Structure 1
Amino acid sequence: MDKNTQGITLMQEQKYEEAAKLFNEVIEENPNAPLGYINFGNLLLHLKEFDRAERFFKKAIELDQNAATAYYGLGNLYFEQENFQEAITYFQKAQQLGIEEADVYFMLGISFVNQEQFKLSIPYLMRAAELNPEDEEILFQYGLSLAQSNHLQEAQSVFLKVLEKKEEHADSHYNLGVIELFQENIEQAVYHFDEALRIQPEHLLAANAKKNMDKLLKENETEE
């Protein structure tokens, strides 16, 4: 096992000082190779030492302008700092340089979501879901962006897929309830709000929706 791999293993074990020592040795032994700088940058990012992490990632890019994981690291760094437009620039560069994993597409999609550009997030979240179809969080975020963009039928289908993977997903039930409400399927809407509250009794959005539904139903009964 080489020192980079050992360092990554130590990071995963939360042995950060030992990992830093190994990455530093890698850089000293191979000062013109980008990988040591990238791994040290990832460690610093994990420790939220953003300024230092940025310097390490940029040094890696200075050594190799095609170092895709350095661009991805910078994307994560700017995302953590809520600089979403800058994050998008670097995630896109990482993707263009060959990172084809679900994570980069998911982070691109969520960066657009955080800027409330839901339509722009859809193709990235859709691709992330294609690459990692078992991840219910990716699917859920994809469904949310579809719903926010008024693609209600497609969103409904995605939220149902989330429930197939995780039956006790309160937020999917809540959003399905909202979609049913838009489609004037009152009983189904109530069912989903009730399910959201059964799973998560403190679900404020579902509780508020259920309260409004009960009030509406009582008013309808009174009118009749």
Structure 2
Amino acid sequence: MDKNQQGIQYMQEGNWEEAAKLFMEAIDENPTDPVAYINFGNVLAAVGDTDRALKFYEKAIEIDGSAAAAYYSAGNLYFEQEQFEEAIKMFDKAMNHGLDSSDNYFMLGMCYIQLEQTKYALPYLQRSVELNKEDAEALFQYGLCLAKLELIDEAITQLEKCINIDENHADAYYNLGVAYGFKEDETKALKMFDKALTIQPDHLLAGYGKKLLKA
């Protein structure tokens, strides 16, 4: 196992100090290997040192302009800092350099949602769930996106898939309740609101939705 692989194992165990040590050794031994810079940047990001993390991603990109993982990691940092347009640029570059992953498409979709550009978010979220049909959160966000565009039947389909995977997703049940209410199916809507409140008794929106139906 090389130092990058061993370092990643330490990261998975939450042993950031040992991981950082190995990645720095890997950089010293091979300063033109972008992987070690990306890995060290990921350690810095994990411990909240975002400015330094970004510098390591930039160094990786400087060494290898096609290092898709560096663009993706930088995109995540920009997203966390609510710099959504910068994040989009990074995720786009990751995609253009061959990163065909559900996570990258999901993050692109989430950037556009944060910018309230739902139509732009839709195809990325759709692609995300195509690549990973078991990602409950991606299915939820895709369903929510469809609902915002008033594609109610399609939204219900995705939200149902979400709760089939995560039966405790209170927000998915709430939004199913809203969708069924939109379709004037009060029985199903009430059932969904009740389910959301069973999972999360303080779910204010579900409680409000239920009161509206019973008014």
Would you say same fold, with TM above 0.5?
A: yes
Per-residue CA shift, 1:70-120, capped at 9, x if unaligned? Answer: 111110110111111100110010011011111111111111111121111
Alpha-carbon deviations, 1:144-196, whole Å to 9, x = none? 11111211111011111122223333222211111111122222222211221
Give structure 2 stretches of 5+ with no counterpart. none
Partner Cα separation in structure 2 for residue 159 and residue 45 of structure 1: 32
The alignment status of 1:113 with 2:110, answered yes or no, reads no
**Between 88-97 and 159-168, the greater mean CA deviation after superposition:** 159-168
Two-structure CA RMSD over aligned residues (Å): 1.1
Partner of 2:169: 169
TM-score, normalised with respect to structure 1:
0.92
Q: Counterparts of 2:52 and 2:73 in 1: how far apart (Å)?
A: 12
Matched residue SS, 2:48: coil
1: CA distance, partners of 2:130 / 2:54: 31
The sequence identity of aligned pairs, in percent, is 53
CA distance in 1, matches of 2:23, 2:167: 43
Alignment of 1:1-224 (within 5 A): 1-215=1-215
Structure 2 counterpart of 1:220: none
Find the aligned partners of 1:99 and 1:27 in 2 and give their Cα distance. Answer: 24
What one-letter code is carried by the residue in structure 1 that aligns with 2:206? A
How far apart, in 2, do the equivalents of 1:134 and 1:126 lie? 13
For the Cα contact (< 8 Å) 1:122–1:142, is it kept in 2?
A: yes
Task: Describe the SS at the equivalent of 1:184.
Answer: coil
1:163–1:172 CA contact under 8 A, matched in 2:
yes
Judge conservation of contact 1:174–1:206 (CA < 8 Å) in 2: yes
Q: Secondary structure at the match of 1:150?
A: coil
- Tell me, in whole angstroms, the C-alpha distance in 2 between the residues paired with 1:81 and 1:68: 20
Instruction: Provide the rounded CA distance (Å) in 1 between the counterparts of 2:85 and 2:193.
Output: 35
* Structure 1 unpaired stretches of 5+: 216-224
2:199 maps to amino acid: I
4+ residue runs of structure 1 moved beyond 3 angstroms?
Answer: none
TM-score by length of 2: 0.96
Letter in 2 for 1:172: A
| Equivalent residue, structure 2, for 1:219 | none
Contact 1:119 1:146 in 2 (8 A): no
Deviations 1:5-47 (A, max 9, x none): 0011111111111111111111111111211111111111111
Q: CA deviation at 1:208?
A: 0.8
Q: Distance in 2 between matches of 1:33 and 1:160?
A: 45
- Matched residue type, 2:43: L
Provide the aligned length of Structure 1 versus Structure 2: 215
Alignment partners' CA distance in 2, 1:167 and 1:42? 32
